[in-house]
A and B are shown apart, each in its own frame.
Chain A
Amino acid sequence: MGLFSIFKKNKEKKEEAKKYRIGMEKTRKGAFSRLTGLFKSHNQITDDLFDELEEIFVMADMGVETVVEFIDELKSDVRTKNITNASELQPIIVDKMFDIYLKGEIVNSNLRVNKNGLSVYLFVGVNGVGKTTTIAKVAHKLKKEGKKVIIAAADTFRAGATEQLSIWADRVGCKVVVGAEKADPSSVIFEAIKVAKQGNYDVLLCDTAGRLQTKVNLMKELEKMKKVISREVEGAPQDTLLVIDATTGQNGLVQAKAFIEATEVSGVVLTKLDGTAKGGIVLAIREKYNVPIKFVCLGEHLEDIEYFDIEKYVYGLFADIIDENDE
């Protein structure tokens, strides 16, 4: 059964997805709100309709190449399945979006856990995407799940980064390991691992300085941090999470590629989804590089973070269409 019909029939699922629906209200109100109108104004399937669909998906930053392929597939579906009525396209579109992400696999958004002790999570990304705030939110979430959490402030470069993290950690009520100003970030992480082991912590979250993927030296620095982590804790880092701002455009793909090469990124955190941006680039990242999304941030408060759920995300995008068909 496709996602479209699942949500149409299942009230409980809808209730679960409510937070996405609210958080992504502004997202949906942008280009996607036009989808509903689009299907009202078009009965026939025409080239114009496909053009408008293309526009809507490009505007969601889904990745130009991904969109072009997507529209081509839709067109061939129309031909092979003999679809003549535009409204028949709706469920196909929703389900196809779902397929782009899943690619026939079971995608698990849970964090990987080290069963024999400390789990280390490394957060990486370009400048200004919200790494530090995300770490506070993740710390808060894991703490509520009953984990003993410690944070390493390995952004020793940006002015005020350590203070920012410390203030957040205070609010969450968790310990931060801080290095000297301009200290080697790897040394801060090394120290934090030591403290974490001694204190029997379950989880270590490592904040790193924002870096553009074009800076070779800074990318090498990340490799080093990763090396230190895997030397000190077996199988660590359990996850390396690339933090991406929902407003990011096509450059998101380049970012993903570069960070994957340097640190074997295993998951994406999508931030600032409470604006009008759609964050569609993460779909392209998953499609092209197979990296799943693990968390989405839907607001400025500590609680505004959710494990990523593709069903809920797609529902968040298309709630208007799905619910309307319901009535």
Chain B
Amino acid sequence: MPFESLSERIQMSLRRITGRGRLNENDIDEMMKEVRLSLLEADVNYKVVKMFIADVKEQALGEKIMKSLTPGDQVIKIVHDELKKLMGDEEAPVKYRTSGGPSVFMLVGLQGAGKTTHCGKLATYLRKKDKKRPLLIAADIYRPAAIQQLVTVGKQLGIEVFEMGTETPVKEIVSKGIAYAKKMNNDLVIIDTAGRLHIDDVLMKELDDVVKLAKPDEVLLTIDAMMGQDAINVIQTFNEKLPLTGCILTKLDGDTRGGAALSIRYLTQVPIKFVGVGEKLDQLEVFHPDRMAGRILGMGDVVTLIEQATENIDENEALKIYEKIQKGVYNYNDFLKQLKWIKRMGSIKGLLGLIPGLGAKLRNVDIDEKQFLYIEAIIGSMTPEERKNPELIAKSASRRERITKGSGRSYQEVNNLTKRFDDMKKQMQSFSGMSEDEINYKMKTGQGLPQQKVKKGKGKGKGNFKF
């Protein structure tokens, strides 16, 4: 099975080295092999992998790892830190022009990388974040309907698009577009250029001409995150022929591990500035090197998870619910509130995928997000009294029947929900009184999460099943 996470791979290789307390050089080599395969499977360039492994190995041979009781974790940490370092420790902001007309940004790249869409994304992002008044210039005169596409994108965002059709030379479009921006008091111009192969000398020259004419503050290479080994040829050639100031890595919302990102930084000094994470025009994010490191290693992304949680959850509210759990008075209203927080944070599968170790396992699991709607529907059919006192429902079959009718779900689903709610409540209460170590122990020994009880035989128990 391809695409295992690095940590799984390392654990496997460690298991092969059994019964020895300390590692020798051969063991480290064995682990490095796994690191190597993992990086190659993430599409990190072969040459980059080679150099990278040499660096990491040198560090891994140091005393610390050899004597460590958890050498696997140590190796992963070294690899992760090294990756992070390589991708630039900090985020790289865009540069604006301070005087003499609007700032000029230019997007370049291969066909199908996502330039036109990202012109729109970037414009709306900078309008919101830096209060810019952007103008888009449609300079892709080659691809059929590229201009219409940009115009449509502009219309959706309420951002003006300057275009002169497909018959005017690119240089003229750009110079007139910038003049128009000055007149209209736009302080930012974003130029959409035609996609081109890096080996197409004529078209590369055209871009160079535009650069000389427009003197852009940012020349951003738009690059598909799914790109394989050839990424370095593209990046290096674009970087040689044009003064690139940064990259936009697109289509990162798929399941690609995006090793190209590492190659970009290793072989050129061009920073990655933005990542495209969805088809909607507001789905653009600033690039975070540490998160990308985790992603390339298939390690999940806890930072994003925490960030989304803090953005969407009110801490005071959370504290109140925690107190209620401790007192054992947690009810359906609290449950509903928590569900809403989770929903605000995005898709469940996306969220779970951010948890280290889960990402790879979830790859083929389909999570039906509608389940949450159903739960909401069921809770919505409870009376305020019932929501406050879950016992009322647990005790009364007729209440459950009424809720069934009200919510349009099946009796079984209502039953399941109330039962699981009870289990969950007990579990949470028992956790809340424990220290962290106790919880860890319980989780490890498998006593942690409540198992759903399987009913044996028919007619047993008190649930009067009537259908």
CA–CA, A272 to B313, complex, Å? 46
Q: Is B408 an interface residue (CB 8 A)?
A: no
| Contact between A250 and B149, CB atoms less than 8 A apart | no
Contact of B110 among A58, A164, A165, A247 (CB under 8 A): A247
CA–CA, A126 to B255, complex, Å? 12
Contact of B228 among A159, A163, A248 (CB under 8 A): A248
Q: Is A239 an interface residue (CB 8 A)?
A: no
Q: For residue B257, which residues in chain A have a CB less than 8 angstroms away from its CB?
A: 250-251
Nearest-neighbour CB distance to chain A for B63, whole angstroms, equals 30
Contact with B along A60-76 (1 / 0, CB 8 A): 11001100100000000
| Contact between B226 and A251, CB atoms less than 8 A apart | yes
Q: Is B352 an interface residue (CB 8 A)?
A: no
Contact with A along B89-126 (1 / 0, CB 8 A): 00000000000000000000011111010000000000
Q: Is A292 an interface residue (CB 8 A)?
A: no
Q: For residue A168, which residues in chain B have a CB less than 8 angstroms away from its CB?
A: 144
Of chain B, the residue at the smallest CB distance from A54 is B46
Q: Is A26 an interface residue (CB 8 A)?
A: yes
Of chain B, the residue at the smallest CB distance from A65 is B2
Q: Is B32 an interface residue (CB 8 A)?
A: no
Q: Is B421 an interface residue (CB 8 A)?
A: no
| Contact between B149 and A160, CB atoms less than 8 A apart | yes
Q: For residue B256, which residues in chain A have a CB less than 8 angstroms away from its CB?
A: 249-251, 254
Of chain A, the residue at the smallest CB distance from B42 is A250
Q: Is B385 an interface residue (CB 8 A)?
A: no
Q: Is B197 an interface residue (CB 8 A)?
A: yes
Q: For residue A130, which residues in chain B have a CB less than 8 angstroms away from its CB?
A: 111-112
| Contact between B229 and A60, CB atoms less than 8 A apart | yes
Q: Is B435 an interface residue (CB 8 A)?
A: no
Q: For residue B366, which residues in chain A have a CB less than 8 angstroms away from its CB?
A: 216
Of chain B, the residue at the smallest CB distance from A59 is B229
| Contact between A30 and B233, CB atoms less than 8 A apart | yes
| Contact between B114 and A249, CB atoms less than 8 A apart | no
| Contact between A61 and B2, CB atoms less than 8 A apart | no
Interface residues on A, range: 35 or more
Of chain A, the residue at the smallest CB distance from B142 is A300
Q: Is A202 an interface residue (CB 8 A)?
A: no
Nearest-neighbour CB distance to chain B for A148, whole angstroms, equals 23
CA–CA, A281 to B230, complex, Å? 12
Nearest-neighbour CB distance to chain B for A174, whole angstroms, equals 14
Interface set, chain A 204-239, CB cutoff 8 A to B? 212-214, 216
CA–CA, A272 to B257, complex, Å? 22
Q: Is B148 an interface residue (CB 8 A)?
A: yes
Asked whether A277 and B228 contact (CB < 8 A) given A158-B149, A160-B146, A212-B253, the answer is yes
Q: Is B260 an interface residue (CB 8 A)?
A: yes
| Contact between B145 and A275, CB atoms less than 8 A apart | no
Q: For residue B229, which residues in chain A have a CB less than 8 angstroms away from its CB?
A: 31, 58-61, 249, 278
| Contact between A127 and B251, CB atoms less than 8 A apart | yes
Contact with A along B20-47 (1 / 0, CB 8 A): 0000000000000000010011110111
Asked whether A254 and B143 contact (CB < 8 A) given A247-B224, A247-B228, A276-B199, the answer is no
Nearest-neighbour CB distance to chain B for A281, whole angstroms, equals 7
Contact of B279 among A58, A127, A162, A249 (CB under 8 A): A127
Of chain B, the residue at the smallest CB distance from A166 is B145
CA–CA, A277 to B235, complex, Å? 13
Asked whether A128 and B46 contact (CB < 8 A) given A60-B229, A212-B253, A276-B230, the answer is no
Among all A-B residue pairs, the 10 with the closest Cβ atoms: A249-B228, A160-B149, A128-B112, A159-B152, A163-B145, A164-B145, A249-B43, A167-B144, A277-B230, A61-B228
20 CB < 8 A contacts A-B: A26-B199, A31-B229, A59-B46, A64-B37, A128-B111, A128-B251, A160-B149, A164-B145, A212-B251, A212-B253, A212-B255, A245-B112, A245-B224, A245-B226, A247-B234, A250-B2, A251-B256, A276-B198, A276-B234, A277-B230
> Which residues of A does B touch, CB under 8 Å?
26, 30-31, 55, 58-61, 64-65, 68, 126-130, 157-168, 212-214, 216, 245-254, 272, 274-278, 281
